[in-house]
Structure 1
């Protein structure tokens, strides 16, 4: 069109091409087309630039977005709007570059833009996620004082979440009370943050009070609500109470997710209730909507090995593979040590070789149990000839983060 026939696209057609390439995930092609806009004498609307930047950030290319954005505004190829700045600010906050986000907010006035509620929400959330919750709270207070751009439930919840993650539950509740006094109703996310925060510090009484207040205000709980309560009870060793909450989920017609299953199964295994853990694992395997992951199976395999039931543990391993779940380094480590404890060294060596073939580096597991792994490695390489008694390891199973 341009080379052979000498036609130049207009702004509308070029914007259509850019949007089409972006939708087709041809992001570099979109960027190239936009870079030619000035050559064609076109001024493409900000929408096309914003959509491309959002897609790039969604694929983790934040640094590319910042470079493109700064080049575009320097060359004056388009006029960024509030959405443009919000997209870039959200991207840099996602990678922890909050200072860069603050600089971008300061530059908005140059282009006739003013930060809106979304801008401030992104900024507050970014500050709180980088452990600068006091600065995030100050932004919230400033918004309340100025009255120009009023905070909403998202702004308050971000600050509440920041204080909860820092273990400052009194400050979190103070912000919550301030929000309610301001006439802003908390939502499910707000309550979930508080319930999870109290559960993490072992204050189950307060967590239950927040849950009861949630139900009184007819704010519907979700799977995160119940998972947080279950996690709190499990952390305090109150497994039967956690199982009661598990049963309550059915009354609310809420299905447990992969993390709910993992929390309960892990806690059952800690209390050597392997039969119940296997029962839940079987229930999980019947759920087509949940993709099984190794961190759910590993505690069951571990508790069976520690009880000497290594063949049952291996059956669990085979079951997870049948479900399309690949064993990880912890799975193999548990089995290697379990079979060593039963003096079945040849099978331990077999798992060692299988681990290596699966791409799990032996070095990655030596930190937790050097004697056992060294023993198997020497046997696997022919460097040891005698079978020795292997002490029971203290394997730390990784717990999922909600």
Structure 2
């Protein structure tokens, strides 16, 4: 450090002894422009400790030529001045040579955060310095913005870089920016960048295109994904692979456009692609979803006959599931037998589909037989297996058998899920076994891994109201609220009708008001049922208030309606009472 600089910063350093090793920072300082060093130490305040540490770091510099040492100092000085004393930036114009774009890019990289980096970038590339930004400087600041979650700023800078200065990104950088936008859910921006790849002379890998289309389809934007795909392949923006076609085919099948999927399969040969097993699985599943299970079965048979792409367990299970949903259990078992004969082993999904199918048609004997085969083939059952058996028994009215399966789950160390609870609680309530239903509901409430849902509580509240236990039903409702489960319109409707059945109209009105105030607006069925009860109870004056509450026009039920309005409503709903 020069004497003038030492005096300006108020620091003094002892002279090194002859035996002391050379100070690397002193070597770097000696390579720094003397005038620049003195000016910086004079102009920059002493209390800026981070700046002092930045300028006088004692860590040894990486091995590089002496000219790079000076460039490193200049970049440090540029970053410090731009952040702390921007009014002193004009002093850099007196340097010979002036700061280079490379030093400016390095200064951006030295900024401690994204906001600082943007401030340094703006200060160095605008008056008074007006250092022409390089492509490297732009890429550096764009990377910083992206990694800080500021993709909007990154895109604006990218537009400046390509439009104003005419810099074209390379493939690696463009892929990075596309991936950053995709991860930030800026799908339209990512699509625009990919569409311009050929203009920049970039050949982005198909993976980026496939990932974007998959995300668009996952967000329900199937038409947008298909339109982009067709535009890209027509414009030869990229060369699609099998995965590309599978992504789009799966998307169109999901929304029922199976004919479009078949057209896309036909086009695969144009791009040197051949449909694989995944492609056929998607087609078979799509056909079965639109109740074209016979056509799906034909695709399966063709695969077996051609032997090019052999069907797997997913292919067979999709056809079996299609037949089960159509109630054609004989055809489903025929495909299952063909599957086993071909050497393809069924998995737990295959067995669950068959058990559920037999349960839906009420053939529990066959469902149990499938379950036995499952165990014999060493395929461990899961919660779906037992839930399907329980549901089948409940549909057949065999509640005791359903409870036996419920207990058998514990032997397999499988815990029921929310739907298992729902099935058996609903069936218990249908058979007026409310105490057992409440017991299971209490067991459910003790499970921290299950978020209670209103459709589980509603059958219990309903059966209690029908038995006249409205207060106990309301207690259940309060319990579900304490568990963080919000009552829905069915919960309130059940309670309102329950209060009316007990001639507790005031409680019914209070419950209706609470329903509206909770933001759970009733539908026409709820309103009509309640008005019918009010009219039958000889309380036409309350009907007008109920109508206003239902439409959000009143905050209190205590307002007295006009006699004319009540008479009109009374006449309007008299047919409900007489029905």
Q: 2:448 is matched with which residue?
A: 288
Aligned residues: 385
Work out the CA distance in 2 between the residues paired with 1:358 and 1:32.
44
Three-state SS of the structure 2 residue aligned to 1:320 is: helix
Matches within 5 A, 1:185-200: 185-200=345-360
Q: Of the candidates 209, 213, 219, which is equivalent to residue 373 of structure 2?
A: 213
Residue 214 (structure 2) pairs with residue 58 (structure 1): no
Q: 1:80 is matched with which residue?
A: 240
Q: 1:183 is matched with which residue?
A: 343
Q: 1:397 is matched with which residue?
A: none
Three-state SS of the structure 2 residue aligned to 1:381 is: helix
Q: Is the 8 A contact 2:497 2:529 kept in 1?
A: no
RMSD (Å) for aligned C-alpha atoms: 1.9
Q: 2:554 is matched with which residue?
A: none
Three-state SS of the structure 2 residue aligned to 1:221 is: coil
Residue 190 (structure 2) pairs with residue 27 (structure 1): no
Distance 1:67 1:364, change over 3 A: farther
Distance 1:326 1:364, change over 3 A: farther
Three-state SS of the structure 2 residue aligned to 1:267 is: helix
CA deviation profile, 1:62-81 (whole Å, cap 9, x unmatched): 11111111111111111111
Deviation at 1:359, TM superposition (A): 4.2
CA deviation profile, 1:248-270 (whole Å, cap 9, x unmatched): 11111111111000001001101
Q: Is the 8 A contact 1:302 1:334 kept in 2?
A: yes
Deviation at 1:371, TM superposition (A): 4.6
Q: Of the candidates 9, 27, 35, which is equivalent to residue 169 of structure 2?
A: 9
Q: Is the 8 A contact 1:96 1:126 kept in 2?
A: yes
Deviation at 1:318, TM superposition (A): 1.2
Residue 408 (structure 2) pairs with residue 244 (structure 1): no
Residue 540 (structure 2) pairs with residue 363 (structure 1): no
Q: Is the 8 A contact 1:15 1:48 kept in 2?
A: yes
Matches within 5 A, 1:1-400: 1-366=161-526, 370-376=528-534, 379-381=542-544, 383=566
Work out the CA distance in 1 between the residues paired with 2:249 and 2:460.
43
Q: 1:396 is matched with which residue?
A: none
CA deviation profile, 1:178-206 (whole Å, cap 9, x unmatched): 00010100000000000000000110000
CA deviation profile, 1:43-63 (whole Å, cap 9, x unmatched): 211100001111111111111
Work out the CA distance in 2 between the residues paired with 1:235 and 1:306.
22
Work out the CA distance in 2 between the residues paired with 1:237 and 1:355.
35
Work out the CA distance in 2 between the residues paired with 1:279 and 1:243.
13
Work out the CA distance in 2 between the residues paired with 1:125 and 1:357.
45
Higher relative contact order, chain-length normalized (CA < 8 Å, sep 6+): 1
Q: Is the 8 A contact 2:293 2:322 kept in 1?
A: yes
Deviation at 1:5, TM superposition (A): 4.2
Q: Is the 8 A contact 1:234 1:242 kept in 2?
A: yes
Deviation at 1:14, TM superposition (A): 1.0
Work out the CA distance in 1 between the residues paired with 2:392 and 2:196.
56
Larger CA deviation: 301-310 vs 284-293: 284-293
Three-state SS of the structure 2 residue aligned to 1:190 is: helix
Deviation at 1:3, TM superposition (A): 3.8
Query: Which consecutive residues of structure 2, in runs of 5 or more, have no partner in the other structure?
Result: 1-160, 546-565, 571-575
Q: Is the 8 A contact 1:329 1:365 kept in 2?
A: no
Q: Is the 8 A contact 1:195 1:229 kept in 2?
A: yes
Q: 2:108 is matched with which residue?
A: none
Deviation at 1:376, TM superposition (A): 4.3
Q: Which has the larger radius of gyration?
A: 2
Work out the CA distance in 1 between the residues paired with 2:446 and 2:181.
40
Query: Which consecutive residues of structure 1, in runs of 5 or more, have no partner in the other structure?
Result: 392-402
Normalised by the length of structure 2, the TM-score is 0.64
Distance 1:376 1:92, change over 3 A: farther
Q: Is the 8 A contact 1:352 1:376 kept in 2?
A: no
Work out the CA distance in 2 between the residues paired with 1:293 and 1:50.
37
Work out the CA distance in 2 between the residues paired with 1:153 and 1:348.
55
Q: Is the 8 A contact 2:460 2:473 kept in 1?
A: yes
Work out the CA distance in 2 between the residues paired with 1:228 and 1:99.
33
CA deviation profile, 1:314-345 (whole Å, cap 9, x unmatched): 11111111222111121111011000001111
Work out the CA distance in 2 between the residues paired with 1:194 and 1:183.
19
Work out the CA distance in 1 between the residues paired with 2:524 and 2:226.
36
Larger CA deviation: 62-71 vs 143-152: 62-71
Three-state SS of the structure 1 residue aligned to 2:465 is: helix
